[in-house]
Amino acid sequence: MSKQHHFYINGKWVPPQGKNTLELINPSTATTLGTLSLGNEQDVDFAVKAARSAFRTYSLTTVAERTELLESILNKYEEKKEELAQAVSAEMGAPLWLAQAAQVPMGAAHIKQAIRVLKNFEFQTVSRGTAICYEPIGVVGMITPWNWPLNQVLCKVAPALAAGCTVILKPSEQAALSAILLTDILHDAGVPAGVFNLVNGQGDQVGEALARHTEIDMISFTGSTKAGVAVATQAAPSVKRVAQELGGKSANIILSDVDLPSVLKQSLQACFLNSGQSCNAPTRLLIPRQYQEEAIEILRPLALAIEQASATPEDKKRLGPVVSQIQFDRIQALIQAGIAEGARLVSGGLGKPEGVTEGYFVRPTIFADVQNTMRIAQEEIFGPVLCLIPYDSEQEAISYANDSEYGLSGYVYSKDISKARTVAAQLRTGMVHINGAGPDVSAPFGGYKRSGNGREWGEFGFKEYLEVKAIMGYGE
């Protein structure tokens, strides 16, 4: 049997306890990639027992030992980067150029950050006779999504291993191929048996079993807000730590002093990157009302020039499909809702792009005259759909930006950096990007409100996997 039909528990590939399987589909072609075994509560229990046993010794390893292990993982990861890119492209539809340029490198970046933080972190300080000690929290259950699979797995696994924790990973069943390949990398790098375990499965089986398990000390979850609420509810009776990175509906405030063509091109690219399947995508573009028509004339040809299935996988003009038929149908329903509520369709719309007959490709869609109360302005679409919301004053733009149940990210463009900083300070979001600034893997990633709690990336993400102990009377 292939590794798609096994789980990695206690350092070995082992057969599942049940017989349920799932068909894996390539989103670009809607053809079958194979089948995947789905785990159950018994599989999870075996993995937890292995992780609990391994924690007794792994938690006592030195900083030097864990640094050496992470460096070995990084080296093995770099050796397999092309295979990883191919896997990501096949399983969730990212164009090969995007998998090579961003999806795979983001995973490596998190391993490097974990190494940097680990080498410089003070696990114990003493002040006025009291020692403050940071210790690994224990066994961590991780539930990760399909949209940036290696990024989301390694921004959890790398700092957890660095902190001295042991792990049970349930990746998205739609992104199992890259997780299986990564598991082989971890094994070949010398991760001790039981320190990392992989159980594939669905949320209502494996995910719930992880959340409920009394021998798991922490759940790290990335996914939809609805699923995050369910995980937190299931985890509550055991009072385990729950860190969540959930949905987003990020506003992009364009102030009146910008170079409009340049800023709009950047904004469209950021919104449509990864086919709009990013929780922090700038999907609400807040534009001064007097510039909306000019913005439409700039954006429409840019959207029409985007190539999809007709482009080669390596072509950077290529926009990939969305991940599944279910996701395609949901996006179509929200596009229809935008039309029904009276938003002006600028480009794209319902159906697949012209000439596309296979795969889950969505037409790059732009709406104008969007009111902030419309469904397309409030619900996370998770597809290549941009909403232009005109505003009459900066304070109105800030009000619109904050009028959302989400608070993951925000974007501000202005030639006046002081003004941009002032606007950024008023956004109720965990992150703000000024003038197109890209991600910073050393900075905290996470949100306010229903976008989650806790933080990932860099030192902030590392600390999520640590408990704090105070020892009074320790002495100087």
Distance set, CA 179 to CA 98, 157, 196, 361, 388 (Å): 18, 11, 12, 24, 37
CB 187 within 8 A of CB 48: no
The catalytic residue among 245, 394, 456, 459 is: 245
Given phi > 0 = left and psi -120 to 50 = alpha, else beta, which region is 454? left
* CA 274 – CA 126 distance, rounded (Å): 47
Nearest to 237 by CA among 262, 216, 252: 216
CB 409 within 8 A of CB 430: yes
Instruction: Specify the DSSP element, H or E, that contains 468.
Output: strand 466-471
CB 15 within 8 A of CB 39: no
Q: Does the active-site annotation cover 387?
A: no
Strand partners, 342: none
Note the helical H segments in 403-467: 417-425, 458-463
* CA 142 – CA 207 distance, rounded (Å): 9
3-state secondary structure 38-94: CCCHHHHHHHHHHHHHHHHHHCCCCHHHHHHHHHHHHHHHHHCHHHHHHHHHHHHCC
Q: Does the active-site annotation cover 79?
A: no
* CA 361 – CA 295 distance, rounded (Å): 25
CB 72 within 8 A of CB 187: no
Q: Residue 5 in 3-state DSSP?
A: helix
The catalytic residue among 155, 271, 279, 387 is: 279
Q: Could you tell me the sign of the dihedral formed by the alpha carbons of 121, 123, 127, 132, in that order?
A: positive
The answer for residues whose C-beta is within 8 angstroms of residue 139's C-beta and 6 or more apart is: 48, 51, 52, 55, 165, 166, 167, 168, 215, 216, 217, 218
Q: What is the phi/psi pair of residue 336, to 5°?
A: -60, -40
Nearest to 246 by CA among 437, 429, 463, 44: 429
Q: Catalogue the active-site residues.
A: 245, 279
